[in-house]
Structure 1
């Protein structure tokens, strides 16, 4: 569930602070000491749905994360875990820049790809709360020329059930982007790549992850609000959520400090640094930038709906089976009780999720989008981490989620 191209078409108060420097990583874990003989599994059994982040659990997390890094050849990763009464784990491993060896650090700005969808859909749902749009309005009321536009609703677009073709899987789009990845794209240029293809199925017939849906919703927000989408999201979503280092860029700007990002989604197929690529091709589906602290905040805001009316949030969280073990609501998924979204843009991947029953947060940020054995590395990290801290709620997205099919 990411913004893919055609190829794939902090601080929490606690008792004590333990600094654990590692060969390839740095960070901290906050918690009480582990009783003699305690283990990660014992911690989970004793404390319920989320393991106490004891030194023993912390060591297991360090080892699991570094194992995924080694196997998937991930240059650098940043991880945050927290839950009230269970402690906080923050680590950065590896390098932010392979050329200089500059280390990864928890304060780096990162491109967050399809996590942008959670902001765009929040903007739409705010307009629903204001009575300016209805979720069951047809998209044709707002945007001309949409195939089946008289029957596809805003709800079906947000829920990935429109049947429209995903523009980022179009061969011509892939060639246009990879031949000049610094060029800007307009929303209507992106839609043109989609609309030249026939619809894939009737509205609401099934789930199909599709960036085209979010481009259309971004245009709805612009038309109804009278503002550019970037301005609306920055002013009405980012700022009220209390996010200080999150932005919807208008071009290729990338605030410092940031990690360089490594991708093989290139014209040659060779690995390149994509940090200065223009993310406008993702726009409402994938252009945004954030950091670890902000995403920790956003995880809870998104999952609990503090920017929306309760009834609207309830509609957002009403998930429909999308993939095995995964439900998708309105711009949000639920994977084994973890609510949120992942993201992938050339050079970067992210995962921001929240588990309401234990009030636990997990954020993973990394500087590559190169898949490993058919899986996205962000999913591999999420799975390895949750096997330790929430073994009854293991985060795992099926391989189909990479292609959206």
Structure 2
């Protein structure tokens, strides 16, 4: 059965049944070591983790890329005391065969959630909101809104039906990918369906939750979400290459993105699809340099009070072995962070506090391989080699 966007759009490391279309496969593309450049990742020597481990990672990544038919891959792994590893392999464009650059920009999908929830938690630190406030205190018309709290929304336990699972939304997105959606429009698709469970009783990954949190931030701050995130999160974190686009704009250099979540089901170039439908749940753009920095800030709580960060990291079971979910963040076998999936792109950005290690993966496809997301396959393979006692698991949402 072919996947549909309703079951996977912006989902983080999902497990499903599907096979990649062979048209996405780029045989024989070389692995490129990072070189010195404007984004500062060129400090990694070609054998930055030692010749043995570096060679093993090179082979592992290329094997997964070819097996999963991923056009282009960027992997960054930083392990204090051992060194670092930064590589780009494959192509950024399957037509021109342009090599994948280390400093490419990509759409980061659900990693946007980490920025939205961080902004929300800053308002908690200021005493302007409380996590256990009901959403009805801020937004009217939310089904069961007097019982669903901001905490339930951030930890994916609200019970609200995911708007990306609505058949009409899927049709509208696939037939009008250039369309600009607003938050109220996308919420309305989900509100047509009954809630799936009582608030706080189960885990269910739902983008509806983050759209509502984005609206709360706007109402309380009096500012547009993009502006508030830029001012309160991106600027103090010194993330100069991370942005919240107004529409389909994309800074250079950027890889072309490929998906099979199209009307025909064929793999197509969807680089210029408008991500507005994902808004606070998944519309943002970043690159390797910024995601590396963000991974540690997110895991250590640099922008939050210790008390609020402790609340964020109070993770609960997801139903998937090895992975728990907190407030817009997950923990998977010791790695803390999030990943993203949006048509054409997938990312993984995680930090391992025990070793102060950071892993960032960026790819330009979201087409599954053997029932699993290709970014998950890469993250598992890389951590199995580099941190075998902390292998990335990462599944947080059923199909």
Normalised by the size of structure 2, how large is the TM-score?
0.90
Provide the rounded CA distance (Å) in 2 between the counterparts of 1:186 and 1:392.
44
Provide the rounded CA distance (Å) in 1 between the counterparts of 2:8 and 2:272.
21
1:5 equivalenced with 2:5 (yes/no): yes
The structure 1 residue matched to 2:331, chosen from 311, 321, 334, is 334
Q: Is the 8 A contact 2:29 2:91 kept in 1?
A: no
Matches within 5 A, 1:270-309: 270-309=266-305
Provide the rounded CA distance (Å) in 1 between the counterparts of 2:80 and 2:246.
37
Task: Give the deviation of 1:351 after TM superposition.
Answer: 0.2
User: Runs ≥4 in structure 1, deviation > 3 angstroms?
Assistant: 28-33
**Equivalent position SS for 2:131:** coil
Task: Give the deviation of 1:5 after TM superposition.
Answer: 2.4
1:396 equivalenced with 2:393 (yes/no): yes
The structure 1 residue matched to 2:248, chosen from 235, 245, 252, is 252
1:377 equivalenced with 2:374 (yes/no): yes
TM-align CA RMSD: 1.5
Q: Is the 8 A contact 2:123 2:129 kept in 1?
A: yes
Provide the rounded CA distance (Å) in 1 between the counterparts of 2:62 and 2:284.
27
Name the residue aligned to 1:354.
351
The structure 1 residue matched to 2:187, chosen from 171, 186, 191, is 191
Q: Is the 8 A contact 1:332 1:339 kept in 2?
A: yes
Name the residue aligned to 1:25.
31
Q: Is the 8 A contact 2:7 2:164 kept in 1?
A: no
Name the residue aligned to 2:12.
none
Matches within 5 A, 1:177-188: 177-188=173-184
Q: Is the 8 A contact 2:33 2:46 kept in 1?
A: no
Task: Give the deviation of 1:397 after TM superposition.
Answer: 2.6
Q: Is the 8 A contact 1:31 1:86 kept in 2?
A: no
Task: Give the deviation of 1:23 after TM superposition.
Answer: 5.5
Structure with larger RCO (C-alpha < 8 A, sep 6+): 2
**Equivalent position SS for 1:201:** coil
**Equivalent position SS for 1:280:** helix
How many corresponding residue pairs?
A: 369
Task: Give the deviation of 1:31 after TM superposition.
Answer: 6.7
> Kindly tell me: are residues 227 and 404 of structure 1, through their superposed partners in 2, closer, same or farther at Cα, counting changes over 3 Å?
farther
CA offsets, 1:34-76, max 9 Å, x none? xxxxxxxxxxxxxxxxxx9211001110111111111110000
Name the residue aligned to 1:120.
116
Q: Is the 8 A contact 1:7 1:265 kept in 2?
A: no
Q: Is the 8 A contact 1:31 1:54 kept in 2?
A: no
Name the residue aligned to 1:131.
127
Unaligned runs of 5+ in 2: 10-27, 35-42
Q: Is the 8 A contact 1:210 1:404 kept in 2?
A: no
Task: Give the deviation of 1:30 after TM superposition.
Answer: 4.1
